[in-house]
Amino acid sequence: MQTVRISCTQRSYDVLIGNNLLNSSGDIMKDYFTPCSAVVVTDDIVDALYGDTVVYSLTSTGFNTSKFVFKNGEQSKNLTVYTKLLEYMAKISLTRSDMVVALGGGVTGDLAGFAASTYMRGIKFVQMPTTLLAAIDSSVGGKTGVNLEAGKNLTGSFWQPSLVICDFDTLKTLPDEIMADGFAEAVKYGMIKDKELFDLLDTGDFMLHAEACISRCVEIKGDIVAKDEFDLGERQLLNFGHTIAHAIEKLSDYKISHGHAVAIGMVIMTRAAESMNLIKEPCLDKLIAILKKYDLPTICPFELIDLTRVALSDKKRSGGSINLVIPLAVGVCGILNLPVAELESFVGCGLHGEE
């Protein structure tokens, strides 16, 4: 088992990465917390796989454990389900000394973390990611929230977990398309900060190096978050491809998953940067090749006018400008502050020349 320490001003915490951790989650948590009441938040698919295991482990080590189960999917990451979760927490008389356990992927972590951050003005929560995307990205860093009709993640908070337990045995039960979502985020980390990670992923043997790749992605995110916890500067690098990706998700009514949309968004940003001579070394062909290796899409199914219209609701917009992350080379990205009036032209350069 590997331990990565995340240092933040709000709170610092450990990310534990290994196998067979869910079976021993109660013993692990008892080492970190005095047994208390804990509500396990999970979706119906993950519940069928791991819900009983985690509840039994926590209960057997002294935690008074209950469970809140919601319907799987991005469509459940909304204010209605969030409110139902808060009402459930109040109904079982959860107190400020108790905790929320997020068992699942990114939707579960975002929803449960947001509820934990707002219930009684904030209680502890533990992340137990069960997807690759959640393990390497969304379970770390403290971004929580739900979607609005206007767009993704427009309501939320910064609320760091108190512990992350990443059991990579859960990856064995993931469908190929869900694994691919995580591969897209792993490629993102290679593109923004680590050419060696990119090259390792380019071998196509991720599962042979799963623990090392997960740990490295978590280390990169931890380092960035420690410098910019509240997303005012360098942390925006983590959004490479995401502004367009969120628009793609929204336009598809979330039928295109986050990781698949991020893959397309990274290609669009990279092609635009290359076409406008903003990069130091060409990297579009390398990016497209590695994404195809992991069966990820590289072509956008939506029109330019619709993409830019939805993208302008992104959180990175500030007044008359929007911050976009562009690659300078494999392993190096920068932030481009672009006037809103130029967004359509810029994105258009990224769409031009699609295969």
Read off the DSSP letter of residue 257: -
Confidence of residue 16 (pLDDT cuts 50, 70, 90): very high
Task: Give ranges for CATH 3.40.50.1970 in the chain.
Answer: 2-173
Q: Please say if the pLDDT value at position 316 is more than 80.
A: no
Q: What is the mean pLDDT of residues 226-234?
A: 92
Report d(CA 341, CA 320) in Å as an integer. 8
Q: Are 355 and 333 in contact (CB under 8 A)?
A: no
Q: Are 340 and 284 in contact (CB under 8 A)?
A: no
41 three-class SS: strand
300 three-class SS: coil
Quick one: tokens of 130? 């069960």
Question: What are the pLDDT digits (tens) for 137-181?
Answer: 999 999 999 999 989 999 999 999 999 999 999 999 999 999 999
Contacts of 349 (CB under 8 A, 6+ apart): 271, 272, 275, 276
How confident is the model at residue 317, as a pLDDT? 76
Max Cα distance, the chain (Å): 60
Quick one: tokens of 272? 């635009």
Place of tokens 């599962």: 207
Q: What is the mean pLDDT of residues 72-83?
A: 97
Rg (CA), the chain: 20
226 three-class SS: helix
Question: What are the pLDDT digits (tens) for 267-287?
Answer: 999 999 999 999 999 999 999
Question: What are the pLDDT digits (tens) for 78-137?
Answer: 999 999 999 999 999 999 999 999 999 999 999 999 999 999 999 999 999 999 999 999
Beta bridge partners of 13: 6
Report d(CA 167, CA 16) in Å as an integer. 8
Q: What does the angle CA 78 – CA 148 – CA 151 come to, to the nearest 5 degrees?
A: 130
Note the residue count of the chain: 355
101-116 burial code (b ≥16 CB/10 A, e <16): bbbbbbbbbbbbbbbb
* Average of per-residue pLDDT values in the chain: 95
Confidence of residue 204 (pLDDT cuts 50, 70, 90): confident
Question: What are the pLDDT digits (tens) for 239-268?
Answer: 999 999 999 999 999 999 999 999 999 999
Q: Are 287 and 189 in contact (CB under 8 A)?
A: no
Task: Give ranges for CATH 1.20.1090.10 in the chain.
Answer: 176-351
How confident is the model at residue 355, as a pLDDT? 53
Burial of 252 (0-12, 13-18, 19+ CB in 10 A): middle
Nearest C-alpha neighbor of 135 from the set 237, 210, 246? 210
- Report the topology of domain 176-351: Dehydroquinate synthase-like, alpha domain (1.20.1090)
The torsion angle over the Cα atoms of residues 76, 167, 137 and 347, rounded to 10 degrees, is -70
Q: Please say if the pLDDT value at position 318 is more than 80.
A: no
Q: Are 344 and 304 in contact (CB under 8 A)?
A: yes
Q: Which CATH number fits domain 2-173: 3.40.50.11540, 3.40.50.1970, 3.50.50.60, 3.40.50.300?
A: 3.40.50.1970
Task: State CA 355 to chain mean position distance.
Answer: 28
**pTM over the 0.95 mark:** no
Which sign, positive or negative, has the C-alpha torsion 47, 53, 56, 60?
negative
Q: Are 246 and 312 in contact (CB under 8 A)?
A: no
Element (H, E) at 258: helix 258-275
Confidence of residue 353 (pLDDT cuts 50, 70, 90): low
Report d(CA 260, CA 195) in Å as an integer. 21
Q: Are 33 and 14 in contact (CB under 8 A)?
A: no
Report d(CA 43, CA 245) in Å as an integer. 23
